[in-house]
């Protein structure tokens, strides 16, 4: 058994459901050889997928960017997600989907003869952030963003993100906040939000960040809560001088960052904008 994948959950690989230990992929799979593939992570609460349409829209965008013919249409993806959830050990879980270009002789260029994309799906346990971390908040450090220039693609080529996250671990903090040319991009696997004088800001959606599914959601929740919201380039000094910093992802939902580079953010306690967004997020989950 692999940690995080209860052995009673079934995974999907290329048309069949099976135990994770029975799922095997060729060493010539271009996902293994080149990282030539994409993925999605859809949070599921008590059997209900959250923001599934938005996740599948992003999956389609990622496949298009890699010029991989979609292995399923929308109804097919939804059916696969439902089947994985039905076979999951617990009803609150993540559905992980990965599609690679498929198996071919090792050559950088796309295969010239048609290959069938590899489609893999699994569910993993999801324990939403509990009261302790919601109240205590997270610690982050700033680092230079050294990744490539297509961060908008949810590619399985995650080496830059892996090395960034390890910098957080090595520094004994929860997350990094990355800066490219002095401007905020994102965390290693989260989007980052800045609050100053009651206004919530996020960096522009472009090729330098992954547009988290919570990107659109944060804009909606801010509008509902009457919090002014804007997307604009945000300099490193503004992050350091923020009243509040927040991070979002499917895994972390929305959480406060209370220290940045060892200094307290604002009061050093989760702030009012966080509290409003947190409540609005919880209400969306409760309404599923």
Q: Which residues are catalytic?
A: 154
**Minimum distance from CB of 237 to ligand PMP (Å)?**
22
Would you count residue 214 as binding ligand PMP (CB under 6 A)?
Answer: yes
175 binds ligand PMP (CB under 6 A): no
- Among positions 186, 256, 274, 277, the unique one binding ligand PMP when judged by CB under 6 A: 186
Taking the complex as a whole, how short is the minimal distance between the CB of residue 33 and ligand PMP, in angstroms? 22
168 part of the interface to ligand PMP, by CB under 6 A: no
Report the alpha-carbon distance of residue 227 to residue 249 in Å, rounded.
Answer: 20
201 near ligand PMP, rule: CB under 6 A: no
Site string for ligand PMP, 38-57 (x = CB under 6 A): ---x----------------
In the shown chain, the binding pattern of residues 239 to 278 toward ligand PMP, with x for contact by CB under 6 A and - for none, equals ---------xxx----------------------------
Closest distance between ligand PMP and the C-beta of residue 140, in Å?
14
For position 62 contacting ligand PMP by CB under 6 A, the verdict is no
Total number of residues that touch ligand PMP (CB under 6 A): 13
Closest to ligand PMP by CB, 12 vs 215, is 215
Does position 190 bind ligand PMP by CB under 6 A? Answer: yes
Tell me which residues touch ligand PMP (CB under 6 A). 41, 161, 186, 189-191, 210, 212-214, 248-250
């Amino acid at each position: 058994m692999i940690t995080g994948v209860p052995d009673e959950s079934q995974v999907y690989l290329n048309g069949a459901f099976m135990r994770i230990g029975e799922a095997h992929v060729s060493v010539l799979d271009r996902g293994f050889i080149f990282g030539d593939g994409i993925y999605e992570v859809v949070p599921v609460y008590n059997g209900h997928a959250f923001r599934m349409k938005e996740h599948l829209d992003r999956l389609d965008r990622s496949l298009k960017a890699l010029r991989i013919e979609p292995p399923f249409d929308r109804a097919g993806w939804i059916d696969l997600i439902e089947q994985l959830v039905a076979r999951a050990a617990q009803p609150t879980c993540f559905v992980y989907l990965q599609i690679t270009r498929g198996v071919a002789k090792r050559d950088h260029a796309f295969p010239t003869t048609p290959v069938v994309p590899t489609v893999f799906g699994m569910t993993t346990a999801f324990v939403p952030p509990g009261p302790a971390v919601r109240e205590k908040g997270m610690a982050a450090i700033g680092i230079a963003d050294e990744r490539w220039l297509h961060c908008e693609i949810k590619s399985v080529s995650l080496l830059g993100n892996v090395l960034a996250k390890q910098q957080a671990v090595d520094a004994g903090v929860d997350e990094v906040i990355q800066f490219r040319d002095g401007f905020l991009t994102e965390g290693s696997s989260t989007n980052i939000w800045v609050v100053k004088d009651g206004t919530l800001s996020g960096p522009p959606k472009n090729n330098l960040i992954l547009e988290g599914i919570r990107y659109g959601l944060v804009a909606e929740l801010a509008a509902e809560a009457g919090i002014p919201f804007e997307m604009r380039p945000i300099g490193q000094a503004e992050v350091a001088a923020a009243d509040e910093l927040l991070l979002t992802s499917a895994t972390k939902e929305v959480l406060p960052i209370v220290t940045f580079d060892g200094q307290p953010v604002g009061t050093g306690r989760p702030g009012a904008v966080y509290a409003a967004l947190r409540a609005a997020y919880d209400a969306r989950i409760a309404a599923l």
